[in-house]
Structure 1
Amino acid sequence: MKKYLLAGFGAVALTTLAACNNDEGNGSTIATIEGGETITQEALFEDLKNNQQAAGALQNAFFTDLTEQLLALAGEDMDFSEEQINAMVATLQDEFGVNSEEELVDIVVERLGLEDRDDMIDNLIIPELTLIELQAQDLDYTDEDIAAYFEDNREQYEQVEARHILVEEEDVANDIIEQLNDGSDFADLAEEYGTDGTATNGGDLGFFTRAEMDEAFAEAAFDLEVGEVTSEPVESAFGFHVIEKTDEALEYDTMPDSAQMAVKRAYIEENRP
């Protein structure tokens, strides 16, 4: 990545101005990227209106804008497969804590000002894939190296999939367990009794690592067999849980694409030249 940035900034024509009191005003060009857009004082200052840490924010905004444009330009020369794009979409779903691509698009539209899925792909997914590719350019590695890295950091990356029913009282959790033992449907009970946002989708939590959950919850979920429900309530900082493990990904080659992407990103970041 360092080598790329040096080459990339060779394509950046910086126009140095006489600070903020330049005769041309706030519309003055601060930087122009060949093949990209110009960055003006007006645009940067507009972004900073709601940020009181002006000096640091100005620097961050300036170089963030430059970086985004450089990555976008570099990405035009890279041919990413639909599989790679979908894996990065799934990774971002995990990072934003949503269960569907539609929810992810809604979030990036609201928070990042993007327009739709295509805009998300062009301005978020492709630049991130480009960054990973550039970081790995001078790194000689194989799939076996990534799998070995996973083994060395297993507890950080192995995942299970589960659903749960969160309630405030232990007696209620015990009653739910009895109903499950009598053949009641887990999703129906989650919708009836659940007190958190997962209740409406049957208590589904998707895949998660140990670190992403309360310690007691994670220990209980990882200890279950697939299809098994906790025999007694699990108390966490949030209340009492009834947990069912629905799947597990404890080996690198059985992990979801998003999880494999996370391992690869971490390996490249740690080992890049």
Structure 2
Amino acid sequence: MSEDKKIINDNEEIKAEDTINEEINNKGVLDVSTEEAVEDNEGESELVEENKSENEEIVKNEVVEEKTAKTKLKKIKNTKSIIAMAIVGCICLGAGFTYGKSVGRTLPATSRKYSSSKIVATVGDTKFTGEQLRQKMDPLFYINGKTKLSDEEIDAYESSFIDYMTTTEVLYLEGKAEGITVEKEDVENEYSTLISSLQQTYNLTEDDLINKLNISKEDIEKELEKELIAVEYIGKASEVTEEEAEKYYNNNKDEFLKVRASHILISNTDDEGNTVSDEQKAKNKEEAEKILKQAQQGVDFAQLAKEYSSDSSSENGGDLDFFSKGQMVEPFENAAFSLKNGEIYPEVVETDYGYHIIKKTDEKYDEFSTVKEDLVYYLGYEKQSNILDNLLEKYNVEVK
């Protein structure tokens, strides 16, 4: 793949994903199924999060694959579910607690005391106590083993668990009000699956697990039932039809526009990737403006790109193929999308990579069929967010 993809601005997508993730957490949504206890080379454990952006580590000159309007919706791809299909303190994180005990730990490096008489949150008349929070936090401390957590880190985990408890509760209550029920067999199957997984991982009997986690089978099944009802409710309430997705597509057609452009790059970095001096930048800009004038006077653009462009796209006459909004750095994107087919941008465009002469060569819209799946998912996420906002207000959720 050519180096012309250097001008793709992946950082903008990362910011979009981070904004979505922050918004989800602020609304009380915690996908704890993506936090797993894993053992490292020294037998210690740490939490790993699958929902971290795949683009978290960016190298300046990284070659990035071209994105489409379909993957433009990637910011919500990893939001797997509005709530988790797991028991927070007693199953997923409880595995870390069990592991900590099994290797002889009596106390983790970090701990915090919780009072059973303290109310940490309320959902209507339902009260969540410090003891319930302790059941979720203690396993976390054991998972981290000898790694000491800062007060800020502990506060963040506490906030996430409280958000999880209140979110599950409001979805469960609304599901019950809507008449949603789950079969006892489904609850038992979920219980068996979770216990079986822990037995295989830690080589403990069911009784050992129940005793070490300090929670009864009945309590586990009760929480599982709540989660199953909550999931069933939010799944039905946020369902998006193909007709809804197509209506959104037709009303927001510009979001799916792609343009094709060619460019000539006069680079402001040397062969070793270092930024050139201000004096050299001035010379580069002067050269770029001379090339722009030639292009405006009718000199073949592709030939100019092959002769002057420092980008490897010069081999193809500067052609960058089709791209969507959000793929290119902002100055380049703004220029390219402002042009008509066959038009050359009237000024030299400066980016971090250098000076560009830009010509738009074509445009097209992604077909609905190619974006339908992601669009349905995206609109479903929007519905879930709105539903949750309304329910948090309806059930008077308060975090103490």
TM-score for both structures, normalised by structure 1: 0.44
Say which structure, 1 or 2, has more relative contact order (CA 8 Å, 6+ apart).
Answer: 2
Query: TM-score, normalising length from structure 2?
Result: 0.33
Q: Say which one has the larger Rg.
A: 2
